[in-house]
Every structure is written in C-alpha cells, then in structure tokens.
Amino acid sequence: MKHVLVTGANGFIGRAVLPLLAARGWRVSAVSRQPQDTDSALASWHTADLFDTDATAQLLGHLRPTHLLHLAWNTEHGRFWQAPDNLDWMSASLSLLRAFAENGGKRAVVSGTCAEYDWSHGFCREDVTPCAPRSLYGEAKLATHHLARHLLAGTDTQLAWARVFFPYGPGEAAGRLIPSVMRAMDAGEPVRCSHGQQYRDFLHVDDVAAAFAHLLDVADDGVFNIASGIPVQLRHLVLTLARLMHWTGTPDFGAIAVPADDPPLLVGDITRLRATGWQPTVTLEDGLIHTLADWRQPRQHHRSS
C-alpha cells in the first residue's frame, strides 16, 4: 500500500489535503507538533517536533513511508518573511529528507514558495525565471531546495519541489488580505488597502491541496509551480468581496503604503503542472463565495446564540 507521511498536516494546506489523500486510497501518517485525534478516519496521527532531528529519524525508521509530503514551516503572518527560525526549518527539512531516503522513501514532495523567484520578472516559469529571493524565508526555501537535490542525488528518492503562489480559502490566517477585508466590511470599519493596482496569482486552498496530492503520484521530478496562472488585480479582488458581501462602502485604496520595489505583477506559469494532468477547478468567484460562507458560519452561530 502507498504510505505517505504528511508534515504540517494541521496547517492551512495540510487540513485540506488529508481528505484528498484518504479518498485516493493512501495510508496517511500525519505529523503535528501538538497531539491530535488519534481515531481520525483520515490519518494516523503522530506527535513530533521536527526540530528534534533524532526523534524525527526514529519516527521515519518506525513508519518507513513510501512517500513524503513536507508542508511544515513557519507561516506566521507578518513574521515569517524574516523570522530567524527559517534557518532552523531549513536544517530540519534536510534532516527529514535524509531520514526519509535512508529508510527507503521513494518520492518526496516539498512545499516551496514563489518567494524564491526574482519578482522583477513578474511572470514566473520554473525553467526560465531566475531565482533572487528578497526575504530570509525565500532564501531558506531556495537553499533547502538546492541542498536537498544534492542530498538525494545518487539515491532512489525522487524530489518534487512545489512553488506555491497565493493560496486562499477557509482557514486562512486572519491577518491576510482576504480575511482582513471581510472582517472590516462585516464590522462596518474602514477598508484600508494599498493602491490595489498590483496583479497577483490566487489559488483556492482546495486546488492547492489537489495539486499536492496529484504530485505524489506523478513520475516527474524537479520544480513545479502551484498557481492558477491567472493574474488578478487586488483592486478587483476587494471590489468583488464588497459585491459578494453586499457592502456599500468605498475601499480606501492607497491608505497602506507599498514598498518601492513592490512587483506590479506576480503570476505563476503552470504549463509544467498542467502537462502532468492537473488543472485548477475553482474559479475566483466560486472560491470567494466558498470562503465567505465558511467565514460567516461561526459569526452567524454566535449572533443567534
């Protein structure tokens, strides 16, 4: 039986990917720093601190998974870009991959980031766009990828490196753009934004999760962009949320300054991932409707109680 070990299984993307893996017939071992429900039908849960490399190696030796889906990293909003522990995550990730290979692992799929690219190019393609990270987060991810390729060279372990662009959806961190705009509109507060002229590549978390689950079964290795391939202007995104929420105010575009080097365009080319048989299925409109409905549920319950 195919057996995958999933790190970061209780995170934003991890929570979305577990049901997909279970539906595809995987035996799933999920890793979390905090204890989880051991009776879950989706996965067998294991409590582990990936920074404890000896304990992680022991876990890999015990489980001996055929596949690895490594999603864990520091993603704390507003902090992760320059957090010193990015270097700890780099070291822990390499130790994890080494233990996986030493215990017979066949294929590792690791979450990278669009922050590895040189953003001045705007449209990012895996085999064309140069990498020039602007943050410690991007530097650590890129270095992890380079070192992992050397680490696994000459082994029987394949490495697929997935550069994720801008995931959104239920469970997204409250301080990020979409949840913060929804909260302000719902509370009747000013909706303060940047100028909104930037174009970004948003992908619903269900599509992101489906791409990761798909990459576990793909024979190709190397780098893959996980994105929609469609540029969306931030101003359009905010105005679409206003329409869906029946909000009649006026967003304060320009209230938040942006860095001078803020890229006007940042979009992922998904030709390579499409060629393997994957394609996004959730439109931006449907994804925002789904996100809004999920976001409103606890608030409606609170107001009715």
- The pLDDT tens digits for 133-145 are 999 999 999 999 9
Q: pLDDT at residue 37 above 70?
A: no
Signed CA dihedral, 116, 122, 123, 129: sign only: negative
3-class SS string, 104-145:
CCCEEEEEEEHHHECHHHCEECCCCCCECCCCHHHHHHHHHH
Give the alpha-carbon dihedral of 111, 117, 123, 125, to 10 degrees.
-60
Domain with CATH 3.40.50.720 in the chain: 3-167+202-226
pLDDT in tens, 99-119: 999 999 999 999 999 999 999
Q: pLDDT at residue 268 above 80?
A: yes
Q: What is the band of 304 on the pLDDT scale with cuts at 50, 70, 90?
A: very low
Q: pLDDT at residue 80 above 70?
A: yes
Q: Taking all residues of the chain, what is their mean pLDDT, rounded to a whole number?
A: 94
- Distance, in Å, from the CA atom of 250 to the CA atom of 185, rounded to the nearest integer, reads 10
Q: What is the band of 300 on the pLDDT scale with cuts at 50, 70, 90?
A: low
Predicted local distance difference test score (pLDDT) of residue 305: 39
Q: Which CATH class is domain 3-167+202-226?
A: alpha beta
Quick check: pTM over 0.85? yes
Q: Which CATH class is domain 172-200+231-265+282-304?
A: alpha beta
- Distance, in Å, from the CA atom of 69 to the CA atom of 110, rounded to the nearest integer, reads 6
Q: pLDDT at residue 301 above 60?
A: no
Percent of the chain with pLDDT over 90: 91
